[in-house]
Structure 1
Amino acid sequence: MSEGLGAGAFLLSLSFLLIPVTGLFFGYRAKRHTWISVAIAVPGLIFLALRNGFVLVPSDILFLVSAVLYALYFNVNGKYCSDIPPVTQTCFQLISAGTICFIAYLVTEQSATQSVSEVWQWLVLSIVLATCLRFFFLLKAQSMSPEGQGAIVMTLEPVWVAILSAWWLNESLNTMALTGMAIIFLALVVNSIGSLLAGRKQKLAALGQPPIV
């Protein structure tokens, strides 16, 4: 549905700001830098909405819903599934997602005009590289790295999507959309740096060393 994957990626990237917010339902207290980041991101969201006039298009709404659900997933995954090996966790999660999507396909897409045989190469690449391998690396990294460090790396995801969309799909974004994307990226950076500094401060406190100013 989307006519601008670059803008959609930045909307989806809001999930990294929403992870601590949705974590409130799991007893997690969001830190001050998180609320500052959310406050910064709101004008960016407004700019992205204004690129189409004073309304969010349906694809934008779905990207935002997906961001909220991904934030919930991240919290559930960290709280209840941290002891499950990454390969096992990836296998069960993707089997569950594939089963549900297959049922949805049978119900809603019986009149699909495009045949799988026309795009099977890209389908295989999407399944193996962009889905299975990506989820495995994400779950493996989540079990190995501090939250703040991983968040900083993940802020680059929407940037890469925007670059590839402009290069590969010849997408063009107006000034309003670029401004909104830049503001959201700033919010992601602020949140990531705040998480990293908070993690280092906590680690130094555990070691009995003075905190970083």
Structure 2
Amino acid sequence: MSTLKRSPWQADALLLLVTILAAGGWIFSKEALAGMPPLLFIGTRFLLAGLILLGFAWPALSAMPARRIRRGIFVGFLFSGAIGFWIMGLATSNHLGESAFINSLGILLVPIVAKLLFGDRPPRTTWIALPVALLGFALLSLNAGFKVETSQLLMVCAALCFALLININTRVVRNVAALPLTTLQLLSVGTVLTLVSFMFERQPVALNTSILGWFMASVLLASALRFFLQITAQGMTTPSHASVVLMLEAVWTALFAAWWFGEVMAPLQLLGCGLIFTALLINRWYWVRKILLRWLPGAAR
């Protein structure tokens, strides 16, 4: 009997909690950026989160061959680029909900990058979903007055890097347990981006109780706990199934931003985000249908 059949609801519940924590991370990060430079914030956040997970991952890491450790660190360097673009996009963004949907394009771009770099054949649904997503992004650009904003470009770069990262992750670090791999990646990202911050960022740090609170929420909830639960849940289901539930991060982020910051989407933004989310559903329709059949029997027939 498969893991998916043995513990479907537990996996789905954990993944749903992961999406809520990840969406909360957008809010925590935006608030913390009021008193910290972007790269210093994200570098120290990931470094501390990695050190926390190191306590759980140390037995596996100490027994891991040096070759696999080097590969994990290499992937962590690629992760640094993706997270770097993401945090700079977040720092310059005036609309978190919109940015979250643009960032979610990384899921759609995974098979495209696999085709370009490794010659893989994307499923037919990818070619149907791609123009829908591009139309959605075009509508978001039109909402800004026929121009692409800096934050939008940075989020697109982050999505491309995440798509590349996922492809490299599945090829370079095969057969590496998720917890030690995640720990290596968090520590690598934290080290790289903290060093880059020290070299290039000149923004003063203005820490107070509030900023420190948001920073620690980012470290403990949106990083350490989020990744620990995500690793656990992914071990209870398949990657494709997990990716469908994880798409809800953008939806939660938009809802949280509307509640916390009072963000309101213009009609073009709503339509653009709706088209991007529709493209993600089309791209993962096989697994979306399986979830619908399990949650709502007869709904996807």
Query: How far 1:170 moved relative to its partner?
Result: 0.8
SS at match of 2:108: helix
Q: Report the Cα distance in structure 2 between the residues aligned to 1:110 and 1:51, rounded to whole angstroms.
A: 32
SS at match of 2:282: helix
One of 135, 150, 158 as aligned partner of 1:66: 158
Aligned to 1:190: 282
Aligned to 1:80: 172
Are 1:10 and 1:158, in contact at CA under 8 Å, matched by a contact in 2? yes
How many residues of Structure 1 are paired with residues of Structure 2 in the alignment? 199
SS at match of 2:144: coil
Q: Report the Cα distance in structure 2 between the residues aligned to 1:39 and 1:183, rounded to whole angstroms.
A: 10
Are 1:148 and 1:193, in contact at CA under 8 Å, matched by a contact in 2? no
Cα gap change, 1:197 to 1:168, in 2 (>3 Å)? closer
Write out aligned runs for 1:53-202 (5 A). 53-115=145-207, 118-194=210-286
Aligned to 1:203: none
Query: How far 1:55 moved relative to its partner?
Result: 0.8
Q: Report the Cα distance in structure 2 between the residues aligned to 1:36 and 1:162, rounded to whole angstroms.
A: 25
Are 2:240 and 2:287, in contact at CA under 8 Å, matched by a contact in 1? yes
SS at match of 1:172: coil
Q: Report the Cα distance in structure 2 between the residues aligned to 1:145 and 1:58, rounded to whole angstroms.
A: 37
The amino acid that maps onto 1:13 is: S
Are 1:46 and 1:180, in contact at CA under 8 Å, matched by a contact in 2? yes
Normalised to the residue count of structure 1, the TM-score between the two structures is 0.86
SS at match of 1:119: helix
Q: Which runs of 5+ in 2 are unaligned?
A: 1-91, 291-300
Are 1:44 and 1:182, in contact at CA under 8 Å, matched by a contact in 2? yes
Q: Quote the RMSD (CA, aligned, Å).
A: 2.0
The amino acid that maps onto 1:106 is: F
Query: How far 1:180 moved relative to its partner?
Result: 0.2
Q: Identity of counterpart residues, as a percentage?
A: 33
Q: Report the Cα distance in structure 1 between the residues aligned to 2:286 and 2:222, rounded to whole angstroms.
A: 29
Q: Report the Cα distance in structure 2 between the residues aligned to 1:141 and 1:55, rounded to whole angstroms.
A: 40
Query: How far 1:60 moved relative to its partner?
Result: 0.4
Deviates more, 1:80-89 or 1:162-171: 80-89
Q: Which runs of 5+ in 1 are unaligned?
A: 199-212
Query: How far 1:136 moved relative to its partner?
Result: 3.4
